[in-house]
Structures are given as C-alpha cells and as structure tokens.
Amino acid sequence: MNESRPTSPEPIDTRVPMPFGRVAQRLRERLSRADLGRIDAVVALARGGIVPGALAAFELGVPLRVLRLRFRDDANAPLTESPVVDEVVPDVRGQRVLIVDDVSVSGATLRAAREALHAEAVTLVVKGRRDAADVVLFDDVPSCVVWPWHEDVAG
C-alpha cells in the first residue's frame, strides 16, 4: 500500500538579493556627498565589511586594513555576549579611519572596532538604520539581504 504523506511547503526565502552594481553605485554616491573630512585608511570589519571596505578604499584612494571581530555567525545568531577582537589590531594610531561593515543594527560591532583601533573614526555600513553609522548606504531595505560577495551567491 502506497500511502502519501502531506509534504510541508518549502521554506520561502525572504532575503532580498543585493546586486554588486547597486552596492557600488550607492557607495560611490554616498561617499561623494558625505562630508567625511580627511580619511587616511579604511578599516574593513571581517567578514562582511571586506568587499564594501575595499570598494570604499578604492574610491577614496587610501589603504585598506582589516579588523576581525567575532560576534555573530552566518545565521546572525550571537556567538559571544559582545564583539571580541579575534586577531591583531591594525596599527592606525594617529590616523583618521573609515570603519566599514556590511550590516549594523545595534552598533555594538562598530563601537568595539572604534575602541580596539584607538584612532579617530567615522563609520559606514551598507545596510542599517540611519543612526547605526555615520554613513548608511541602504536604510530602506527592511529584510535580510543576500550579498553578492557571499559564497552561496557568487558561486
């Protein structure tokens, strides 16, 4: 006897795809309009901030540095109670830096980066609330985003 079981529906992916060109264009527009003052280097927060940080460093004509912080996993679940510096901190003492990350909601990671760097800093996030960073590229995307630089999208 062949009994058919009801199948559960496939989960619906509600994440919004964010094309690379859209990110690059918005970054270029916002950097040209923002009054950032002198920027000596861009510090990208690994992992999510590396690609937008590289774009920002290129647009500004300054070096790129990377700071690794451990706080959330790929599913955005907390790994630690607060962000923890995972590796050696780039030496940017005496410089004015632009800290770049992909997403900021609470600002905890950006605050931890500022504290770890001991440098004058302004912040930029690709997605977040307007009060999340000094420059927010997309504050109008309410759902999760599929970034073009993530492995599951790029491959």
pLDDT at 101 (0 to 100): 94
CATH code for the domain of 114: 3.40.50.2020
Domain that holds residue 23: 16-154
The CA distance from 44 to 54, in Å, is: 7
The answer to whether position 9 is within a domain reads no
Looking at residue 154, its pLDDT comes to 45
Per-residue pLDDT of the chain (155 residues; tens, 9 = 90+): 555 555 655 555 677 888 889 999 999 999 999 999 999 999 999 888 999 999 999 999 999 999 988 766 666 666 666 666 777 888 999 999 999 999 887 888 899 999 999 899 999 999 998 888 999 999 888 778 887 877 554 44
- Whether residue 146 is contained in a domain is answered as yes
Strand pairing partners for 72? Answer: 78
Taking the CB of residue 20, how many other CB atoms lie within 10 A of it? 14
Whole-structure pTM over 0.95, yes or no? no
| Residue 115 resides in a domain | yes
What is the model's pLDDT at position 153? Answer: 46
- Report the number of distinct structural domains present in the chain: 1
pLDDT value of residue 76: 62
**137 belongs to a structural domain:** yes
User: What pLDDT shows up at residue 46?
Assistant: 87
**Is 11 within a domain?**
no
Residue 3 in any domain: the answer is no
In a domain, 143, yes or no: yes
Residue 6 lies in a domain: no
Task: Report pLDDT for 144.
Answer: 82
